[in-house]
Structure 1
Amino acid sequence: MSESETTTGTQARETSTAMYLRTREALRDARGAAGEDWKREIVEIFFSRLWLIFLSTGVIFAASAGVAYYWPPTYAAHGSVLVRGKPSQIDPNSLEPERERVSGVSKEDLQTELAILTSPDVVRLAAGPGGPASRPARPEEIDRIRENLEGEVVPSSNVISIHLESRDAEWAEETLDKILRQYLVFRATAFHPHAQEEFLSDRAAKYRKDLEEVENRLVEIAGTTSEIFVDRELTNNLDLLLSLKKKLGELLQARVEKEKTIVPLREAADAQAVQYFAFLASEAVDRISQQLLALRVARSELLRLYPEGHEKVRAMDSSIESMYGDLRAEVQKILAMRQAELDSIEMQVEQVEKDIAALETRNATLQRNSTEIQRLTREAEILRFNYETFAKRGEEARIKEDITLANFSDDVNILSWAKSSAKVVFPLKLPTMAIGLLSGLLAGLSLCLLFEFLDQTIKRPADVSRAVGLPVICSIRKA
């Protein structure tokens, strides 16, 4: 690049920089002039309409002075409530004894109490029959009272301050006093509703009726079973039952053994062949059997000498038959005796079985009655506990309601009842007139700006330039 080209570029940059600096300086001067013009215009606007400012200020100040001196005075009645704690909280559905759950007072609790104190229901109760009015309060009356009723929580305390404004100081004091009284009653019904007392009383009556029925049933069972001796009788019966079962086993064994001796004896007695019944342990049977055997031996010897139909043989047969009849008669006697013994055993077995069945029935009855008595006793204890619990809760609810109706509560306390002050709360002369003066001044300034905005006439050189779009060469002030 040549030296001439370098010099030309440097000059161009210097020229551009100088133009930028001159332009920035011109803009700064223009801004300063515009700022000064704006301030000057505002001052001119206000000074050109000083009459309007004075007029509006004077009118509004005069009106405020009239209000301060001639407006009917408004008085206020003041009262305060001390919140000592949260309402006692006991679950009515719980049957277990429990302490009342009481905790510290929070900001939410204070706001809740304040909301109850200024609620429409409390105001309606205070303004209704028995209140300052002898007739039910109309909605507009309730709204009017609530508009003039204000409450606030005193900072760093558990105190709620409340006041009611009215042109009648006596009416305000009486109404606020009624509001405080109705507040105690209403909050009690809100935290401890009357329906809760009725519910507790009804449940207590139901449990008492059920308890009486169970106790009557216990009396009926106790009439047939002595609860004191049930266990002892059951123990004795079990011992007796054990001995009877042992005896029954012995009798059954004896019956089996006796049947074992009777069955073969009966079969032998019923047999057609000659039997000597040698298996019988009887002296008479053995003696007759030996005699019978001797006769049969003698007959055999006679048959060697005489034929079958011989007279001596027939006489021997007659003797044998007679002897065999005696043997069978003796056997029948033994069989009858053993059968009698078996029948006796059968009777004993039957009696023992009856005794066992009777004892088992008795034990079952005792066990059933004992179980029923234990069940009814447990049920009676539960019902008695439930009855006592609900009766106690119902009595506590009634006591709390009575205490509330007496305008006393263990949760809140009326720190100061309604008291009206002779001091007027509205209008206050000095603050009212000061506010009127300030309001008049602000209104006058605002009217000046408004009139300037609405006035489209040419009053300054800038208006000419803005209207025709041409620069102003000079201006001649009007003489």
Structure 2
Amino acid sequence: MNNQVKSSIAEANIANVKIMDQSIIEYFWRVFYRYKWLILAIIGAVVILGMLLTLLTTPQYTSSTRIEIKRLQNNVANVKDVERDEVGQSLEFYTTQYSLLESRALAERVVRDLNLTRDPAFREAYGFEDKEDGDRAGASAQSSRQKELDQATGILLGGIDISPIRGSSLVDIRFTSPSPQLAAKIANSWVKQYTQRNLERRYASTAEARSFLEKELDDLREKLEKAETDLVTYASDKKIIALSADTDADGRTRNERTLAANDLEVLNKELATATAERIMTQSRMVQAGEISSAALNNNALGLLRADLAKTKSEYAELMVRFEPGYPQAKALASKINELERAISREESRYRRNDNAEFRQAAAREQTLKAKVEGLKSELIKQRGDSIQYNIFQREVDTTRELYNSLLQRYKEIGVVSVEDNNILVVDTAEAPKKPSSPILILNLLLSLIAGGGLALATIFALEQIDQTLKDPKDVERVLGLSLLGTTPQTAGGNPKEDLLDRKSPLAEAYLSIQTSLSFLTDHGTPKSMMFTSTVANEGKSLSAYALASILSRQGHKVALIDADMRNPSVASLLGIADEHGLSNYLSGQDDWQKNIVGSGEENLYILTAGPKPPNPAELLSSKRLKQLVKDMGNSFDHIVIDGPPVLGLADAPLISSAAEGVIYTIEANRMKIRAIDSAITRLRSASATIFGALTTKVDTRNAAYGYGSDYGYGYGYDSDKDA
């Protein structure tokens, strides 16, 4: 169970491990380099496809016209404080206009205005079939015309583009067509029909508004007449006579004077005057001996008093010189008495007049008081009646105000002139000189971007699908094994010849691997080691021979055992006979030395697989294999075993327990990580010691791996010196 879980985790997390254990740039660079030809092929194909589509696409021409849409108030009644709230109305208005500009009804008007279904240029540009109406009759012809109308309308809706200019009331109207003349003609007709339709809608709304106002005016007229009749009738019943009225700025009655109020005001003034006169007359009577102002101001009385004063003065002068009995003095005294009596008579007459004036003033005062009290009672009664009177008056004022406002609006609403049009053409459409699409450079750039995106998606999909071991460093990162080295992929032919060429990359690679082997144990290169792989043909046999050959050239006595009895390859690789070998010994022959043959190389001896047994696993499970390795260890410095592959067979785990350790061979870009990990798990379950792994058949042209520096290739060492 644990082994299965471990294997699944290794496969699922391989991509994450790769990215975590190395720089992202390095990882992506390796991926790109590995798929470079696929990337170039995809990008090239997409770019060529884009170029072909561009060259084969019919050129499209876009003509543009610009208009200004002004917002008009739509207040039918035009009565103060009756308008709708303006907040948000502007956005609603322009959104509505944009929708009207894109409406199907407007497109149909343009089709009919330009007679596009019969326009040869339009029919040719959009592929209409040329059929004469004479070939179709009755309902069929009408249906065909309707179908062409719908088709043309759909074409116009597909080619029109309404683009409001942000932050303004300007709108660009663009139409795209294969014909530049058609594009300009349709764009201009679109504006024309939109303007005409807008005027028609406004005229229609005006007619509806006039009809509405006529009805409202009739109702208000009847209501006003009734209100005025009620007011007059009530005033007549209550004897309320209005002399004048004050009105405010809106024409409403603010203060109204009645006849009773006016009379009371006049009588109050007269009463005040009469009371003042009575008080003055009475005060003169109360003060004894006081002469009234009228008497003092009388000329005759004044002359008498002046004459009296003069006579008394003359008498006083005579008394200074003469006695009272003097004749002239007597005459003056007599005159004085006469004047005094005359003045007394005159003052008495004036006193009698003052009494008469007082009585008259008092009587007049009482009369006026009685009248004022009577008018007060009448006015109080009228004030109570005027409450309902004022209600009638306000009803009349309100109805008259609304009636006058609607009547004024009714007079104005019918006047809709050209100056009231809220659609203004800023720029008219002209036939474009260059096509708007396709643009070759832009399409090629987009194709390049699309090709790059498709290539990236493809290679990363392949990267996720392909779970084979590609990078030799994955041996350590993913499998957890020591990487002993890598061998390059040969160009073909006999790999043994490449091994014999001491300067070849293959020979140098195995020399580097042998160097790594010398550090595996405390006694250097392991005494006995088995080479195995996941499946056949991964290079294990060649690797076993190459390392055995290098060890023999270094002066060590080496035995190479071909333990792959199901598919032996060492004998054919070295060109020797395979008549007797390992199978003979395991079958019961005690003398293994008789089966040892020379390889043609000094210090290198071969024990071939021998005849194929019917059940190799049964032979390998015996103790004779371990005894053989032990006995040969007494005669040889190193024993190299070319074992069978692990998957599907029980042979390799049986052999691994006989050797000191296992060297696992992995062919690059072949086996999936899960299969490799499963094979390694089987070896470990057999208590095998795995020294490490080496990767074979690596494409040295992939410079991203840097084999020359990382793994010891290209040293340029002389082979003799290496040996």
Give me the TM-score of the superposition, normalised by structure 2.
0.34
The TM-score, its normalising length taken from structure 1, stands at 0.48
Q: Which has the higher strand share?
A: 2
